[in-house]
Structure 1
């Protein structure tokens, strides 16, 4: 995790591109990581510091613990801060759904129940209006856009009280979202 070293990286003159690890990662991992680094780079050039945002977003990801890869301060030190006791550590959020390219349907990645609300995560340049439909609602809570489900209607015509990650049918969103957005829920307290 080099998000705390963006200034040094960009000012080094030695780096033309940043590679985001994503080969064996989920869409959520790759999307949130790229989004956090995009914000860090844009903030650097705009002379803003929003490091708490980058850290909090990266902490939403399941991972084995973060290191700076021994690139910045300890190039020869071999103390390992990664978690090797378990396969992966839980992030502070659980991904509930991935929105498809139409923005009207999503695939379930973790349980969603009627009456529950999930946080909407979308690209920085995107926005959605608050509103209601017969399926649910988009509203704002503490500065965050949320989606509540009053009904869960599948693309195959069935209606459910809850949907789980094993379901292979897309479900209708109450209102359209930007393509490839995510719905998530907090599982752990804030880390900062």
Structure 2
């Protein structure tokens, strides 16, 4: 069934550890603007998957300029966030959710949009891969496949954002936040460097 195939394929792509998931996890643990963050991620995936079904993937793969902009812009964004995470890790007094003021909603949403749209791999996964797989299933089947993929995205991001708070007791200690931010800094640096490799 196209719907289940789309759900399974999209979930396998989304669950992979990445910059966006690390950001959603951190916001969930902080219990800070979680609903806007997960909605931004899931609705963005819905937009990108739909665009792929409508043929945007074919256009993107033919535009070297678009790929280069996404590559260099995405790497710069990830390096910046890695630096901020490393700075938090070396400053324990500003790590726990209760020890510093929550970030403004606008700042959080803009960061979330950056993790989504400045990552060239999101276009390869959603627009190109899922879009092309959906278009192999005929007129009606492609939209059922896309609906399954979008459902997987909503399921994953809402689960990650809202169920991560179950880990809150573990992150009541500053040391746990240091470990998390150190891991995030290393992950972002690795992803940014990998993005720039030929």
Q: Which has the higher strand share?
A: 1
Q: Which has the higher helix share?
A: 2
